[in-house]
Amino acid sequence: MNSTRLGEVLLARGLITAEQLETALRQQRRTGEKLGRLLLILGYVSRLQLAQALADRWRRPFLTIAPDSVDVAVAQRFPLDATLRLRAVPIRDTGTEVVVASAEEPGEELHDTLAVVYPGRQPDIRITTEWDIDRAIALTHRRKVVDTSIYGLYFRDQAESAFTVFTLPQYLAFSVACLVLLAGLWSAPLQTLLFLNVPVTLFMLAVMLFRTYVGVVGAGAETAITITPGQLEALEARELPVYTILVPAYKEARVIGNLLRSLAALDYPADKLDIILLFEEDDPETLAAAKAAAPGANVRFMVVPAGEPQTKPKACNVGLLFAQGEYLVIYDAEDRPEPDQLKKALLAFRQGPRELACVQAALNYYNWNENFLTRMFTLEYSFWFDYLLPGLDRLRLPIPLGGTSNHFKTAVLRELGGWDPFNVTEDADLGIRAAMHGYRVGIVNSTTYEEANKKLGNWLRQRSRWIKGYMQTALVFSRDPIGLVRRAGLRQAIGFVLLIGGTPLIFLMQPIAIGLTILWLVTRTQLLTPLFPPWLLYISLFNLLFGNVLAIYVNMFAVFKRRLHVLVLFSILNPAYWLLHSMASFKALGQLFTRPYYWEKTTHGLTRHGAAAA
């Protein structure tokens, strides 16, 4: 057997002991993984030693790729997808033969592809390490990688990309509406404002009733897919597929070490984990911090080529190109997923329908009791992930994904075009896009704990980005309303409009409604009377009073699932918290025009819980 031979080679070279070999073989019998990868993961050999041993075994010369030894023009002739799939990079063309570096045993497909791309050249295939291959790809296909990660979705389907914020018809409609509004305010201000007030009030009523209804439905559903401990125990390690974990990390030097420790604690065979840490070129600190944490051999470092926009989804798209797992999950650098989450997600995929493309784990905060903001954030997340998303799932409505802990079938994710790097809530956008393509998103009973923002400025930056992303998503999927209804169905389209479109609108309108109410309470002016005929006044009051009370109420019972009863009273402070949302919304609205895909970076590692939790 090949494996025996690899072991013998390594034994003969004195690189491993017989006991180490026996341990690796025992592991191999359990998980079915390749021996070389097992020895690497177990730390018995280095990548260089393993590659040299494999070169011996495959009777090929070993090669170390130096950057100046690669003829970029030659390499670029070889298609990127073939390079990624075959893990081989042509580095030189001598005229008679083409020198190829490979990290895998050369097979027929490699030979056939080389014959097509470099006709008349004899292939001279040499073995190198995986890292050398990744570095060579980054060097030779930099432009292609950048293009694919940035414009992949746009070139695939412009209508689904937020690269264009407004389509021409949208912009024309918006412009005409603005001008008509201005003309109306000039000629008949009261009637115009009344005309404006009616649809806005009715829409706010619909949004409020919708969210309440979905929350109530969600309250009756623990989670859509519940995985029991028995099911987890029954999982055979050999059956487990390779799972890619993408971790986009930018300016996260303070927390990257914690994340690596959390990932190491995952209850999943390390040899079946393909962990890709994605760094930006202008962030050597985080890369250095990651290296200092000395992660296992199943962790790959990948530096994302620079290029605008410098967003998390762009980094994720780069990671997706290199991902080798059958399934894929995204974690943020400050995340602490529950150890059994990957297995639960895997079982959820297996139990779910074929069209289940993504499984979302719940998010919550480990530093929930740090200050007012973290408490309110926790309340909000508890309602969102424990009530609203399960409710949407139960009602078969589109689910906007959370920013992290979304588990995908890698092939489906590639089919959907990956993330939209121009959308600053690429997660929500992807969830809606999946629904538009007939896929479903499920919710699994596992939680990832994150760090809640404790500083107002940081919170506002993060929240304005989310709301701007919702605006982008609403604009993207409303470009073709008829198509939206046809593809997703009327009910889903209405759900999308009320949730994605309604959320920013509610926050934008909230301060206006409160302001008018305060104005009336203080001055008792009758100037507002024409704007609120009795029937509309009752609806507005219902929205303001009952809507707020209802939202507070559902927030109150949101904490019960998490047993954070001490937060119940904080629900009453929600109106103040929503005013912060409104501030963020106006900032988001401005940025939608001025810096549509600017990624407002959220700083992590500010919590005093960080060290303790780590």
Partner 1 sequence: MIRPLGEWMRMMTRRLLAGTALLLVLGACGTDTEAPTAALPAPTAEAMDSLLASAAPGDSLAPPLVAVQPDTTSVMALTLRDIGRKDGVTLTGAIDGATITLPVNAGLRPTRLDLELLATPRMPGATLALTQGARVLAIRALLDTTTALSFPLDEVQIDRGRAPIELRVNIPGRDACAAPLFYRTIIKPTSTISYSGRAAATGGIAGFFQPWVRRVTFYLPAEPSLDAAQVALDAAAFVARRYRGMSTTYAIAALPDTGAIPEPAADERALVWGPSGPTMVLRPEGGRGTVLAVASRRDARQLFSLADGPELVPAPGFSASTVRTGDGTTVTARTLGSLGNAPRTIDGSSVIVATYPFALADFGHYVTPRAFRLVAQHSTLPPDGNGTLRIHLNDQLIHSQPLDRTQLDVTIPLPARALARDNRLDVRFHVMLGEGGCVLGGPVFTATIDTTSTFVLAPTPPLVPSFDRFPAALVPGFSVLLEPRDRFRVELAATAIGAMQATTQTPLVPYLVRDLAEVRGSLLAVGTGTMAQALDAPVSTDGFRLRDLTGRVWDEYAPTASYGAMQAFVRDGRDILLLHHTRENGQPLADPLAESLSPYGWFGVSGDLALRGETAPTTVIRAANSGWTVESTAGEPPSVFAAWRSLIFIGAAVLLVALLLFFYPRVVRRELDPTG
Interface contacts to partner 1, rule CB under 8 A:
146-147, 150-151, 163-168, 171, 175, 178-179, 182-183, 185-186, 190-191, 194, 307-308, 523-527, 529-530, 533-534, 592-594, 596
Residue closer to partner 1, measured from CB, 131 or 166? 166
Residue closer to partner 1, measured from CB, 303 or 397? 303
Give the shortest CB-150-to-partner 1 separation in angstroms: 5
Residue closer to partner 1, measured from CB, 30 or 479? 479
Residue closer to partner 1, measured from CB, 104 or 480? 480
Residue closer to partner 1, measured from CB, 64 or 529? 529
Count of CB atoms within 10 A of residue 241's CB? 12
Residue closer to partner 1, measured from CB, 182 or 292? 182
Residue closer to partner 1, measured from CB, 9 or 193? 193
Give the shortest CB-484-to-partner 1 separation in angstroms: 20
Task: Identify whether the C-beta of residue 298 lies closer than 8 Å to the C-beta of residue 41.
Answer: yes
Task: Identify whether the C-beta of residue 426 lies closer than 8 Å to the C-beta of residue 420.
Answer: yes
Count of CB atoms within 10 A of residue 326's CB? 17
* Preceding peptide of 79 cis, ω within 30°: no
The H-assigned helical ranges of 188-311 are: 189-219, 229-233, 256-264, 284-292
Give the shortest CB-139-to-partner 1 separation in angstroms: 17
Backbone torsions φ then ψ of 182, nearest 5 degrees: -65, -45
Strand partners, 447: 362
Residue closer to partner 1, measured from CB, 2 or 175? 175
Question: What is the secondary structure of 5-21 as a DSSP string?
Answer: HHHHHHHHTTSS-HHHH
Name residue, tokens 């990688």: 145
Give the shortest CB-346-to-partner 1 separation in angstroms: 36
Strand partners, 92: 99
Please tell me the distance from the alpha carbon of residue 590 to that of residue 584, in angstroms, as a whole number: 10
Residue closer to partner 1, measured from CB, 71 or 147? 147
Give the shortest CB-165-to-partner 1 separation in angstroms: 4
- H or E stretch including 405? none
Give the shortest CB-198-to-partner 1 separation in angstroms: 12
Task: Identify whether the C-beta of residue 249 lies closer than 8 Å to the C-beta of residue 284.
Answer: no
Residue closer to partner 1, measured from CB, 116 or 306? 306
Residue closer to partner 1, measured from CB, 73 or 168? 168
Give the shortest CB-99-to-partner 1 separation in angstroms: 30
Amino acid code (one letter) for 139 = L
Give the shortest CB-196-to-partner 1 separation in angstroms: 14
Task: Identify whether the C-beta of residue 333 lies closer than 8 Å to the C-beta of residue 255.
Answer: yes
Give the shortest CB-591-to-partner 1 separation in angstroms: 11
Task: Identify whether the C-beta of residue 374 lies closer than 8 Å to the C-beta of residue 368.
Answer: yes
Give the shortest CB-147-to-partner 1 separation in angstroms: 6
- The tally of CA atoms less than 13 A away on the side-chain side of residue 351 is 17
Give the shortest CB-345-to-partner 1 separation in angstroms: 33
Please tell me the distance from the alpha carbon of residue 126 to that of residue 70, in angstroms, as a whole number: 13
Q: Which two tokens stand for residue 498?
A: 């009320």
Q: Please report, to the nearest 10 degrees, the dihedral formed by the alpha carbons of residues 66, 67, 73, 77 taken in order.
A: 70
Residue closer to partner 1, measured from CB, 163 or 368? 163
Task: Identify whether the C-beta of residue 190 lies closer than 8 Å to the C-beta of residue 531.
Answer: yes
Residue closer to partner 1, measured from CB, 19 or 593? 593
Give the shortest CB-538-to-partner 1 separation in angstroms: 13
Give the shortest CB-500-to-partner 1 separation in angstroms: 18
What is the three-class DSSP state of 368?
Answer: coil
Residue closer to partner 1, measured from CB, 260 or 592? 592
Q: List the one residue out of 411, 442, 424, 419 whose CA is nearest residue 324.
A: 411
Q: List the one residue out of 313, 309, 306 whose CA is nearest residue 284.
A: 306
Instruction: Name 119's Cβ contacts closer than 8 Å, sequence gap at least 6.
Output: none
Residue closer to partner 1, measured from CB, 179 or 549? 179
Q: List the one residue out of 202, 244, 163, 185 whose CA is nearest residue 407.
A: 244
What Cα–Cα distance (Å) separates residue 98 from each residue in 52, 67, 95, 119? Answer: 21, 17, 7, 10
Backbone torsions φ then ψ of 595, nearest 5 degrees: -140, 75
Give the shortest CB-283-to-partner 1 separation in angstroms: 19
Please tell me the distance from the alpha carbon of residue 378 to that of residue 228, in angstroms, as a whole number: 25
Give the shortest CB-417-to-partner 1 separation in angstroms: 17
The H-assigned helical ranges of 226-279 are: 229-233, 256-264
Please tell me the distance from the alpha carbon of residue 318 to that of residue 611, in angstroms, as a whole number: 31
Task: Identify whether the C-beta of residue 378 lies closer than 8 Å to the C-beta of residue 567.
Answer: yes
Please tell me the distance from the alpha carbon of residue 89 to that of residue 75, in angstroms, as a whole number: 6
